[in-house]
Chains A and B, each alone.
Chain A
Amino acid sequence: AQSVTQPDIHITVSEGASLELRCNYSYGATPYLFWYVQSPGQGLQLLLKYFSGDTLVQGIKGFEAEFKRSQSSFNLRKPSVHWSDAAEYFCAVGEGNNDMRFGAGTRLTVKP
């Protein structure tokens, strides 16, 4: 069964610093991978997705993620974090007509 692991429950970074959120997946074939962001009291919004092709994908709000098959990873990055990026981030894996499974989430705190 497909599964997603986000090893970091909570990360704190200073505004302007770079960010990397980790995501590892378990899936038999090439998965479809997603990163979502959730602001307090809100639903989940898609940041970016990977289906095939270029393993470095660009998303909204200056985020990017890199698919590394050899490491079963899909880490999310941003070169310079803004205070408005404080939120919870979820990695998800899905395939075709099947379900989507989410990681436990990583809560990002941004220090001024």
Chain B
Amino acid sequence: DAGVIQSPRHEVTEMGQEVTLRCKPISGHNSLFWYRQTMMRGLELLIYFNNNVPIDDSGMPEDRFSAKMPNASFSTLKIQPSEPRDSAVYFCASRLQGNTEAFFGQGTRLTVV
């Protein structure tokens, strides 16, 4: 298995633009997590899905952030409009529900200028 695949690896965008981050979880995994990592706040859980259903989105910072999981093999995290303070590394992770660990993608480094 290729592991959790995130795209793009790097994204530079101007303030006000829409940004879409993509994630393909490991096949067969039915939980998916989106995290944001910054120096100031560390690794924050933004939202997670079980069986494609959002379970807890309390970590989503603002209405500008939205996440979808239209099927078991794809999820998106969208920021619209983007702001410089959204600059961070965004990680996607997946796991089997139950007694298992999460597997992380390589992350998307987002820079909003």
**B97 in contact (CB, < 8 A):** yes
Q: How many A-B residue pairs have CB under 8 A?
A: 48
Q: Which residues of B contact A34 (CB under 8 A)?
A: 101
**Distance (whole angstroms) from the CB of A33 to the closest CB of chain B:** 10
In whole angstroms, how far apart are the Cα atoms of A97 and B45 in the complex? 15
Distance in Å from the Cβ of A87 to the closest Cβ of chain B?
Answer: 14
B42 located at the interface, meaning its Cβ lies under 8 Å from any Cβ of chain A in the complex? yes
Q: In the complex, how many residues of chain B place their beta carbon closer than 8 angstroms to a beta carbon of chain A? A: 23
> At the interface, yes or no: B107 with Cβ under 8 Å from chain A?
yes
Digit string of A91-103 for contact with B (CB within 8 Å is 1, else 0)?
A: 0001011111111
Cβ B33 vs Cβ A100 within 8 A: yes
Q: Is the interface of B mostly helix, strand, loop or mixed?
A: strand
Report if B61 contacts A (CB, 8 A): no
**Contact across chains for A43 and B33 when beta carbons are under 8 A apart:** no
Q: Known: A43-B106, A44-B104, A105-B43. Contact between A51 and B99, CB under 8 A?
A: yes
Task: Indicate if A110 sits at the interface (CB-CB under 8 A).
Answer: no
Residues of chain B contacted by A97 (CB below 8 angstroms): 31, 50, 97-98
- Is B56 in the interface zone, CB < 8 Å from A? yes
Collect the chain A residues with CB atoms within 8 Å of residue B50's CB: 97
Whether B91 lies near A43 (C-beta < 8 A) is: yes
* Interface membership of A13, Cβ < 8 A: no
A57: Cβ under 8 A from any B Cβ: no
Q: Are B48 and A99 touching (Cβ within 8 A)? A: yes
Interface presence of B25 (CB below 8 A) = no
Give me the interface of B with A, judged by CB distance under 8 Å: 4, 31, 33, 35, 42-43, 45, 48, 50, 55-56, 91, 93, 97-99, 101-107
Closest 8 CB pairs of A and B: A43-B104, A104-B42, A102-B43, A44-B104, A97-B97, A46-B101, A43-B106, A99-B48
Q: 27 pairs across A/B with beta carbons < 8 Å? A: A34-B101, A42-B106, A42-B107, A43-B91, A43-B104, A43-B105, A44-B91, A44-B93, A45-B104, A51-B99, A96-B99, A97-B31, A97-B50, A97-B98, A98-B55, A99-B33, A99-B45, A99-B48, A100-B45, A100-B93, A101-B45, A102-B35, A102-B45, A103-B42, A104-B42, A104-B43, A105-B42
